[in-house]
Structures are given as C-alpha cells and as structure tokens.
C-alpha cells in the first residue's frame, strides 16, 4: 500500500501543504487528501457519487470526511443512489440524515480533487492512537463501483504520505499527514 507518490500528485500535495501552513498555525496536525477521478470514455457519463471515510481496524466507521452526491435534485431524488456506495451505505450512510453539514457536497467531474482536514476539528475530529483505514468508494450511474483503501497509523512523528490507486472508477489517491 505504501507506494511512492505518483509524480502527477506531487505538485498538488505540495501546493496543499504550503496553503495550510499559511492558514493554520504550524502545530495544527492535518490530513491532506488528493483524489483522482478518471476521465471515462463512455457514451453516457454521470459524475460519480463518492464517499470518503475513516474506519478503525474493527471496520467501524470513525468519521465521514466527504460524501459527494446529487443533492440538488427535486424531492431529494439524488438520495436514491446513495445506497450504491454499498460499503459506505452499510457502515454509516444508512443511519445518517442527509445532507450532513461540512461533509456532503456536490458531485465532481474527472480530474484531481484536493481536500484538507485538521485533526481536532470537524469532520475529522481527534483520532485516538492506532491503525486506521481511509476508504474511498465511488459509484457511477450506468457505470461501475470501486473502493480504494489506504491504511495509515495515527499519530505520525514525521510528515508521511500513503498512497493507493483504483483501476476503474478511481485513480491515484494520496493521504498526507502532517503531525
């Protein structure tokens, strides 16, 4: 799982890192995430629904970081496909009241997407020391579904980056932790 960081992600990670130094105090521990949604060469394309969450090693969802879905549809019709992110739906989605402040957002198209979270503040919260898995699940209407898992430990003494890559619905994913 601890692959070298893909070259294509480096500028993004560096940019994200510099940005947070300028905004946050140097002591604030943070988690930066770079997610690639691949371009699909298909006749009918819908932006994927994506859920990003952290589980502890007993596969309990600890915290939801992001859920991208179509919240703008009439009569909350977009919620109809939330269950297609099966693992996320099972672990926490089905007990949530949508939308969730600071977690849910609009679907995103292909390309690199960057997210930044601070330990101790929502939606990441403070993590107890231990082993975790950051999981990203994508499901696309008339398309496929894929889950990418990135194991990591918290806390870290040195800045660390963990990477993984999907093969169909998700591309390169990198989790960077600054202690």
Partner 1 sequence: MLNKTPFKPFLVAALVLGSVAVQAHRAWIVPQETVLSGENRWVSFDAAVSNDIFLANYNPGRFSDVQVLNPDGSAGQVENLHTGKYRSVFDLALKQEGTYRLFIASSGLRALWEEDGQRRMYPGRGEQYSAEGFAKAVPENAEKLVVSQASRRMETFVTLGAPSRNALAASGQGLELVAVTHPNDLFAGEEASFRFLIDGEAAQGADVTLIREGTRYRNAQEAITLKTNSKGEITVRWNGAGRYFLEAEYKDNKAQKPATERSGSYVAVLEVLPD
What's the first-to-final CA gap in the chain, in angstroms? 20
CA 62, distance to chain mean position in Å, is: 13
Contact partners, residue 105, CB within 8 Å, separation at least 6: 66, 67, 68, 71
Q: Could you tell me how many residues of this chain bind partner 1 (CB under 8 A)?
A: 16
Distance CA 24, CA 149 (A): 28
Q: Per-residue x/- mask for partner 1, residues 61 to 90, rule CB under 8 A? A: --------------xxxxxxxxx--xx-xx
Residue 89 C-beta: closest distance to partner 1, Å:
7
Among 94, 144, 159, 168, binds partner 1 (CB under 8 A): 94
Residue 128 C-beta: closest distance to partner 1, Å:
26
Contact partners, residue 41, CB within 8 Å, separation at least 6: none
Residue 17 C-beta: closest distance to partner 1, Å:
35
51 binds partner 1 (CB under 8 A): no
Where along the sequence are the contacts to partner 1 (CB under 8 A)? 75-83, 86-87, 89-90, 93-95
């Amino acid at each position: 799982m601890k692959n070298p960081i893909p070259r294509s992600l480096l500028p993004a990670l560096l940019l994200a890192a510099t940005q947070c130094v300028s905004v946050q105090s140097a002591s604030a521990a943070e988690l930066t995430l770079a997610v690639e949604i691949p371009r699909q060469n298909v006749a009918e394309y819908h932006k994927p629904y994506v859920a990003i969450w952290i589980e502890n090693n007993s596969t309990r969802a600890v915290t939801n970081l992001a859920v991208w879905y179509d919240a703008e549809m009439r009569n909350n019709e977009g919620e109809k496909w939330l269950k297609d992110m099966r693992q996320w739906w099972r672990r926490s989605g089905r007990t949530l009241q949508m939308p969730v402040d600071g977690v849910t957002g609009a679907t995103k198209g292909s390309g690199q997407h960057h997210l930044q979270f601070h330990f101790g503040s929502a939606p990441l919260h403070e993590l107890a020391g231990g082993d975790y898995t950051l999981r990203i699940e994508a499901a696309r209407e008339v398309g496929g579904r894929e889950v990418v898992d990135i194991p990591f430990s918290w806390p870290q003494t040195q800045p660390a980056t963990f990477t993984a890559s999907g093969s169909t619905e998700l591309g390169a994913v990198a989790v960077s932790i600054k202690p």
